Each structure stands twice: as C-alpha cells, then as structure tokens.
Structure 1
Amino acid sequence: MLGIDELKIIGQYRAMITNVERKTVFDIRPSRAKAELMPYFRDLRDKDSVEWVAMDMYHVYRQVVRATLPQARIVVDRFHIQRMANDALEKLRKRIRKDLSTRQRLKLKDEQFLLLKRQHDLTGRDMDRMREWFQQFPLLSEAHALKEGFLSIWDQKTRPAAEAACATWQANIPTELAATFKDLTTAVHNWHDEIFAYFEQPITNAYTESVNRVAKDMNRMGRGYSFEVLRARILYDKKARKDGSVIETVLVDDDDPMTTDFVFQRMTTAATRKKKITRVVEYGPYLPTLARLLEEGYFE
C-alpha cells in the first residue's frame, strides 16, 4: 500500500511517497510533475506488488498510477475530501461576514472553529452560541447541516450504504447552496470510485502528511539544505531505517537437485529442493522514529 502526497519545500512541489502499511518513507521525488513521475513508476522495482495507492485528488497522480500500476486500486484520502465540506461552510461564513457590522464581523470570525467542530463534540454552551447565529442566518444553519451530513457518510460500514447516503445528501442540497458546495459535489462526481474505494480498503494519507511536516521541520533546522541533502537525511538515516526493517524467514530454491537420476531431472525440471533462509528486509525509514529524532534535536 503506497501513499502519494505533495510537499512544497525548497521552492517547489515535491512528491512524497510512503509505504502506508509499514509507516515508512518510500521515496521523495524532486517534482510532482507527470514527466518526472511517469518514468519513475514505470521502472519501479516489484511494482506489481502494489495493490492500493492512497492520494489526494491531484489528477496527475491518478494518471500516473493508472498508466504504470494498472493492477493497483486508488483510494482518495478521506480527510482531503472531508476538508472540502468544511471549506464550503467557511466560504459561506466569510460571505456573511462581509455585510455585518465591525463588532459582529469580529464575533463571527471567532466562531470559525466552533462551526467546524463535529456536532457530536459540541457542548451545551457551544450549541447555544450556534443557535444564535442560525436564528440570524438560516442559510448558515442549512450549510452547517450539510457539512455534518457529508461527514457522517464515513460512519457507514459498507460501500453501498455510503454511496446511498451520499446520493441522499446530494439530493437535499437546496438550490441557494448549490454554488457554495459545487467544488465538493464536482469532486464527488469526478472521483466517485476512488472516494468510495475507502469503504473497501480504509487507508488514508495521514502518515504521508506527517512525514511532510517532519521534512519541513528538518529543512528549517538545516538552514538551507539542498533538496538532495534533505532527501538523503530522511531516506538514509540509519536509526530510522533499522526501525523500519523486519527479519523474515523465506523458502528459496536450493542449488542442489532433488535427485541424481538424470531421467527424473529431465522430466521434472521444476523439482528442486527448498531451503529456509533468514533475511533483513528494509522498508525505508520508520516515520515515528524520524518524528522522535526530530523532537530530540537530532537533525539540528
């Protein structure tokens, strides 16, 4: 399971690639451009073993994965699509603020995080404050309900149930809020399969985004690293790579044939002895170790 996310660092966007299952950094590419990623993934060793790829809704990533990893299923990071519901509510809140008095404008600005909190996390006092605004601006109340309704889709247990909940949600968008939620509804239409694939394989890019923060902090501490130096410090740190390694025992073909009978060998060319070997497999630097080392000032 791979994760792909963009990272803007040292002047341009890079592509951060992680092993989602192992919580390790797989690679950091110098660019997220299609011309850079297409040959990289086309020549990727053991690429047929990739089954799932988590990403945001950047069309280049989808094009590259479809062209070079056709067997892999794409999953849109749930937090990325959910963030768009919050963005729609924020768009309306800012529009309402423009027509308010200075005092009210400042007050509604302070309510930003209250409106974005999940309803089940609100206290009684929070709800009272929200009702005051909803009574003044009923459209804000409807937009808040739509935000909550969209986020609740991910409470469903199966893909068919989630798709049905989404269809019901879209049907309940009032005409006056259609433009506010247009970016979200367009994304759901254009990325439908990849969004709801989450209910078949619930993986996210949370660890990929975490390593992005580590990389940014590491670059700040480095005071002017080149991209190549930063990439090397992340990928080849011995402590983090050790924690991202596993020891496994596997069966391999022995060099000696199973029998010395020439006729039997000729008739059963695949018949060879198997032997067990123990080997260390490196999956890349372990993200929690990188984060701990960063906190300890190891990279300063």
Structure 2
Amino acid sequence: MDNYPISSKSLEKHYQIHGDHLGQQYKDHLSGYNQWEQKGHAQEWMLFPANLGPRLSIDETSLSNGELYTILTNKAAKGQKGILVAMVKGTKSETVIDVLLQIPKKLRNKVEEITLDMAGSMNQIAKRCFGKATKVIDRFHVQKLAYDALQEMCIKHRWDAINEETNAIDNARWEKKEYMPLRFENGDTKKQLLVRSRYLLFKSPNNWSDNQKVRAKILFAQYPDMRQAFGLTHSLRMIFSHTKDKGIALTKLARWYNDVSESGFNAFNTISATIYTHYKEILNFFENRCTNASAESFNAKLKSFRACLRGVKDITFFLFRVAKIYA
C-alpha cells in the first residue's frame, strides 16, 4: 500500500474485503504510522534532509480546505521516491526558513540551483537558506502573467459585448421587434466569439485547429488590439522556447519590454514591471533551462491522491502516506 496512492475502499470489489476495516488496520497496525518520528509535528512541517540535491524547486500548494503549504522538492527524483525535501504549513518566509535551517549548512551549501516563482517570500527563503544557489524564476510563471493580461483584455471586451447585446435587446423590445443578434461567418455572435476564443489564445498558431484559425481571424479583425496583445504574448513564449543564449535572451527581452511600453496596454504594465524587477533571475533560466515543472507535477500528484481518497479527514495520516510514497 506504500508504493501507490490508492485507498483501501478501492480494494473492496477486487478482494471482497471491507475497505474501512482494512484501512483502519493498516493505519493502526501495519503502516508504522504510530511509530512515525515526525507524527507530532507533521501538520506544521515535515523535513527530509537526506533528499536534498543540487537542483531544487520551491512552490506552494493547497492541501485541504484551502490551507496552503510550502513544498521543497528535489528535481533529480523525477517525481518518484525521494522528491520531497520539506513541506511546511503556510507561506510565511520566517516559518519556512526556521524549518529549513534545521538542515546542516554544509548540505544546504551544496545546492547549486533553485527554481521559484516571483513571490517575495520565496525569494527570501531561497536567499536565506541556500545562499550559494542560483535563483531561477520559473518561465511559466512569467508567461502566465502575459496570458492573464491578455485574458483581462478579452474579458473587458466580453463585458462590452454583453452590455451592447443587453441594450440591443431592450431597444428591440421597446420598438416591439424581434431581436436578431449579429452572427459572424462561423455562426458565433460577438459574445460567443470572445468566450470561445479563450483557449486558442493560450496556444501557438501552429497548433490551432481549422475552426480555431477561422475564429482567430474573425476575432483579430473585430478587435485589432487583441491581435497586438496576442502577438506580445506569443513573442514572449517564443523567447523562452527558442532562445538558448543568455545574452541573446537579454536583448530579446529588452526589445519585448520596449514593444509593451509602446503598445500602451495597461494590462501588460504589471508583467513589464515584473520582468524589469526580476530580469536577472529570469535570465538564469537560459543557463540550464530549469523550470518548476517538477514541483507543479508533484502538486498535481498530491491533488490526485487527495481525490482518490475522496478528501482528507485525517491530515496527519495523509501526510504520513505522502511521506512514505514520496520521501
């Protein structure tokens, strides 16, 4: 039961056993849970210094009822046993630092690289606990800011379309006419066009289906600013995808920053300011092209495990199972 994240209930139909009884027997007698040395503080923190490696990821995840945990993982484990280095309740840098400083300094100084997002608390943790490691801001967090800015513009246009349709319906009712919305060549109304374009805006044009190509053509014809904003988002993605030299990446990001400034889009001001503030850590990505993908994958596994158990009633025992499987 320690090798796979399964529930005792899932064994009932295969082995004709009572799942709840098996689960209780496993917890009380078979698992070693009652002898677990970290049981007393597991809900607050778990620490596994032996799993430390030269390349780490630090991220946060919601474990149960929206409760956030900061998780430190070892990239070398590739999502398998040994990936979990530390798991600390909350995101306060002081709390996480106090736990990680329990790891001997000699081991912490062997960490060469740590990937993280742009949160100030994560930066503090990395700086204080792994002073000799290169900090790398995850490219996907940078790109997500661009996607969010693009979606913000799309949502604004959607509200305008909703208000326009509402006014047209009221006018038709006032004039005692039947309201007939304008439909484009693919059958979308203006409101539907904006809603259905959401997913194609996250993709490269090379990956658009034929229907999405038609929809994008209509969208960009109706909203030229969306074409320009999509171009900014796509060009940022291409910088991260195809640039391998750190110096060239610096030049391209500087040009991209200028393009954003010239566009005048308020929605993109946040990301341009963020890139300006964190450009050194962002550029470190182009040295080894490390991302937080392993941390995101581990977070997904935790959520899948939680879903398999249909929720978490005993958080400490759940964390024990997580430790047995991944630490």
Q: TM-score range by the shorter chain?
A: 0.7 to 0.9
**Residue number in structure 1 paired with 2:48:** none
Of 213, 216, 241, the residue aligned with 2:303 is: 216
Alignment of 1:50-129 (within 5 A): 50-100=111-161, 101-102=164-165, 103-129=189-215
Equivalent-residue separation in structure 2 for 1:218 and 1:226 (angstroms): 14
**Residue number in structure 2 paired with 1:170:** 257
Q: Does the Cα contact within 8 Å between 2:153 and 2:226 map onto a contact in 1?
A: yes
- Letter in structure 2 aligned against 1:75: V
Deviation at 1:59, TM superposition (A): 0.9
SS in structure 2 of the partner of residue 172 of structure 1: helix
Please state if 1:6 is matched with 2:42. Answer: no
Structure 1 residue ranges without an equivalent (≥5): 241-283, 285-300
- Letter in structure 1 aligned against 2:228: E
- Letter in structure 1 aligned against 2:227: S
**Residue number in structure 2 paired with 1:43:** 102
Please state if 1:236 is matched with 2:324. Answer: yes
Please state if 1:142 is matched with 2:142. Answer: no
Of 10, 16, 27, the residue aligned with 2:86 is: 27
Q: Deviations over 1:114-154 (max 9, x none)?
A: 12211222245533321211111111111011111111111
Please state if 1:207 is matched with 2:294. Answer: yes
Deviation at 1:5, TM superposition (A): 0.7
Structure holding more strand per residue: 1
Q: Deviations over 1:7-64 (max 9, x none)?
A: 1122311011110122222232222211211112222131111111111111111112
Name whichever of 16-25 and 150-159 sits farther off: 16-25
Please state if 1:153 is matched with 2:239. Answer: yes
Q: Does the Cα contact within 8 Å between 2:193 and 2:219 map onto a contact in 1?
A: no
**Residue number in structure 2 paired with 1:293:** none
Question: What TM-score, normalized by structure 2, do the two folds share?
Answer: 0.69
SS in structure 2 of the partner of residue 49 of structure 1: coil
Question: What TM-score, normalized by structure 1, do the two folds share?
Answer: 0.75
SS in structure 2 of the partner of residue 71 of structure 1: coil
Equivalent-residue separation in structure 2 for 1:40 and 1:152 (angstroms): 39
Equivalent-residue separation in structure 2 for 1:225 and 1:27 (angstroms): 22
Q: Deviations over 1:214-264 (max 9, x none)?
A: 212322333333332222111123xx6xxxxxxxxxxxxxxxxxxxxxxxx
SS in structure 1 of the partner of residue 77 of structure 2: coil
SS in structure 2 of the partner of residue 17 of structure 1: strand
Name whichever of 24-33 and 62-71 sits farther off: 24-33
Structure 2 residue ranges without an equivalent (≥5): 1-54, 166-188
Of 271, 277, 284, the residue aligned with 1:184 is: 271
Equivalent-residue separation in structure 2 for 1:39 and 1:68 (angstroms): 9
Identity of aligned residues (%): 22
Root mean square deviation, CA, Å: 1.8
Q: Does the Cα contact within 8 Å between 1:28 and 1:231 map onto a contact in 2?
A: no
User: Relative to 1, partners in 2 of residues 1:77 and 1:129: Cα closer, same or farther, differing over 3 Å?
Assistant: same
Equivalent-residue separation in structure 2 for 1:30 and 1:229 (angstroms): 15
Equivalent-residue separation in structure 2 for 1:225 and 1:209 (angstroms): 24
Count of residues paired in the alignment = 239
Structure holding more helix per residue: 2
Name whichever of 78-87 and 99-108 sits farther off: 99-108
Equivalent-residue separation in structure 2 for 1:65 and 1:174 (angstroms): 31
Q: Deviations over 1:181-210 (max 9, x none)?
A: 012112111211111100012111112111
User: Relative to 1, partners in 2 of residues 1:110 and 1:69: Cα closer, same or farther, differing over 3 Å?
Assistant: same
**Residue number in structure 2 paired with 1:132:** 218
